[in-house]
Chains A and B, each alone.
Chain A
């Protein structure tokens, strides 16, 4: 796409998003890009900006603002993730992240549903903005469907979603197209069973997405349908609340897709500092087992998490929204700067 069109598209779609979020009561804020401690995630690698880090998302900083009473807010945040280079990934990109605060847990649960409407509205606004610029691209989905993770798993594999246990996950991998013959965690699994299950789910989720979910999402998109997948397996909760126990446990997390394009990832936010500390520790153990470097723990975030009001939050890959609405197949086709040579941006 010509450079002037790329610039006008960025301006129009970001204006449309800001106008939707501000118009529904959110305040725009800006938090530091350089942080003392990035969120500890299984497969998200920060770039170092010694002696600090470049943020991989504004999540921890925004939650600290929420804990201080700022209220519902959003940030169009520049973020960095080392090694994420591909048609739909760049090491440097923008997350549009927003939080809807409530007075009660029930209010936050309603806001969690509301986030899906936000995604749909932002997608529609992006398509309109693109059209007003006279650029070509796909129409916004005629409708959206919400599937539970379990229902989507069954629909795409014909199998019941595996239990959160290593044996069940290994068995399930054999039924997922493209997954390797060697079972998950071919070498010795981590000693801590919960760490092993986290590692196995993180991997199985990728094989399932690539081999079974994506083709199904494509067919849905061809039929004009966008998809939200809600209620993830508890081990994939990340920073979301978990409801229920045992076999009924589910993470209050959702993802929104148009075809293969994974646009957004929303949570009913976990507010329990002790549970959050345990999860960070589990992820840190999994990272160590996977050979990934240690990351500092954000004690400042944990100390303020107890004051977090009931809230639902979400991050949307902004460049993916731009790419989807113009129908390009690579984020680099819309970037305002050509990609650096691969490997030159290592931290």
Chain B
């Protein structure tokens, strides 16, 4: 692709890695060569760097696509998902899933990123609703604003919740911060 096709969210292959353009600015002094000043994010590691290209430069587009899958099961060293449209299954190494495995419950929809046909990462929904499986009762009389306690949810993840939350209740959790958001009524 030509550098003039750059835009936000363009996906580029640089040094073998897929990068996404997160910010983009075109500058060009009178009669000078145009500069495309970009912030690009490595789609595998998340690291963000500044990169400037000149008018006339050629870039390689990254073969990247994201498809929604639902979680089926984990087997210790990998996690298996099913494409919501084609029912095709894909197993992703535990290393690739990383800490996100703490949110993987049956049928959870996740976006799987494929780079050159290979699954290289998952993106969780920003919020999930999970059942509290273990949680001590609130301490009577302790009503201090902001007081919290540990609660363990169905996948084994522990989060801080307000004192009024009880075992068996369902709570909404922010997957990016792992913070309790609210109680969800059935």
Instruction: Give the interface segment out of B11-19, B23-31, B112-120, B123-131.
Output: B23-31
Q: Is the CB of B54 within 8 A of A203?
A: yes
Tell me whether A343 and B5 are in contact (CB under 8 A).
Answer: yes
Residues of B within 8 A of A88 (CB): 27
Which residues of B sit under 8 angstroms from A41, Cβ to Cβ?
31
Residue of A nearest to B27 (CB): A210
Q: A206-B54, A342-B7, A343-B7 are in contact. Are A85 and B34 (CB under 8 A)?
A: no
B160 interface residue per 8 A CB criterion: no
A62 to chain B, nearest CB (A): 18
- Nearest-neighbour CB distance to chain A for B23, whole angstroms, equals 12
**B55 interface hit (Cβ, 8 Å):** yes
State which size class the interface on B falls in.
Answer: 10 to 19
Q: At the interface, yes or no: B105 with Cβ under 8 Å from chain A?
A: no
Q: Using an 8 Å CB-CB cutoff, how does the interface string of B14-47 with A read, 1 for contact, 0 for none?
A: 0000000000011111111111010000000000
Residue A75 is within 8 A (CB to CB) of chain B in the complex: no
A115: Cβ under 8 A from any B Cβ = no
Interchain residue pairs with CB less than 8 A apart (18) = A41-B31, A43-B28, A43-B32, A43-B33, A84-B28, A86-B25, A89-B26, A89-B28, A202-B31, A203-B54, A205-B33, A209-B32, A210-B29, A210-B37, A262-B30, A290-B55, A291-B56, A343-B5
- State the B residues within 8 Å of A (CB): 4-5, 7, 25-35, 37, 52, 54-56
Asked if B56 contacts A292 (CB within 8 A), the reply is: yes
Residue A83, interface by CB 8 Å: yes
How does the 8 Å CB contact mask read for A308-347 relative to B, with 1 for contact and 0 for none? Answer: 0000000000000000000000000000000000110000
Partner-B contacts on A (CB < 8 A)? 41-44, 82-89, 178, 180, 202-203, 205-207, 209-210, 213, 236, 238, 255, 262, 265, 290-292, 342-343
Neighbouring A residues of B30 by C-beta, 8 Å = 255, 262, 265
Q: Do B29 and A84 have beta carbons less than 8 Å apart?
A: no
Question: Which chain A residue lies CB-closest to B4?
Answer: A83
Kindly provide the distance from the CB of A292 to the nearest chain B CB, expressed in whole angstroms.
7
- A206–chain B nearest beta-carbon distance, Å: 4
Closest to B5 in A: A343
Name the residue of chain A whose CB is nearest to the CB of B30.
A265
CA distance in complex: A43, B26 (Å): 13
User: Contact: B27 with A86, CB < 8 Å?
Assistant: yes
Query: Which residues of A sit under 8 angstroms from B27, Cβ to Cβ?
Result: 86, 88, 206, 209-210
| B5 x A84 contact (CB < 8 A) | no
CB-defined contacts of B29 to chain A, threshold 8 Å: 205-206, 209-210, 213, 262
Known: A85-B26, A87-B25, A342-B7. A206 touches B34 (CB 8 A): yes
Q: Are B32 and A206 in contact (CB under 8 A)?
A: yes
User: Which residues does chain A contribute within 8 Å of B37, judged by CB atoms?
Assistant: 210
Q: Which 8 pairs from chain A and chain B are nearest by CB?
A: A86-B26, A209-B29, A206-B32, A83-B4, A205-B32, A265-B30, A206-B33, A290-B56
Contacts of B26 in A (CB 8 A): 84-87, 89
A45, B34: Cα distance in complex, Å: 11
Query: Which B residue's beta carbon lies closest to that of A42?
Result: B31
Task: For the complex, give the distance between the alpha carbons of A202 and B37 in Å.
Answer: 17
Known contacts A202-B31, A255-B30, A292-B56, then 4 further A-B pairs from the complex at CB < 8 Å, ordered by chain A residue: A83-B55, A86-B25, A206-B35, A236-B31
* Pair A43/B52 contact, Cβ less than 8 Å: no
In the complex, chain B residues whose CB is within 8 Å of the CB of A207: 35
Residues on B with beta carbons closer than 8 Å to the beta carbon of A84 = 26, 28, 34
Specify which chain A residues have a CB less than 8 angstroms from the CB of B35 in the assembled complex: 206-207, 210
CB neighbours of A205 from chain B (8 A) = 29, 31-33
Query: Residue of B at shortest CB range from A203?
Result: B33
With the chains together, A291 CA to B56 CA distance in Å? Answer: 7
Q: Which residues of B contact A265 (CB under 8 A)?
A: 30-31
* A202-B56 contact in complex given A84-B26, A85-B26, C-beta closer than 8 Å: no
Please determine whether B31 and A238 come into contact, CB atoms closer than 8 angstroms.
Answer: yes
Closest chain B residue, CB of each to CB of A292: B56
Bound CA span A84–B35, Å: 10
Cβ B56 vs Cβ A206 within 8 A: no
Residue of B nearest to A44 (CB): B31
In the assembly, what is the distance between CA of A178 and CA of B25, in Å? 15
Which residue on chain A has the smallest CB distance to residue B31? Answer: A238
Please indicate the chain B residues that have their CB under 8 angstroms from the CB of A292 in the complex. Answer: 56
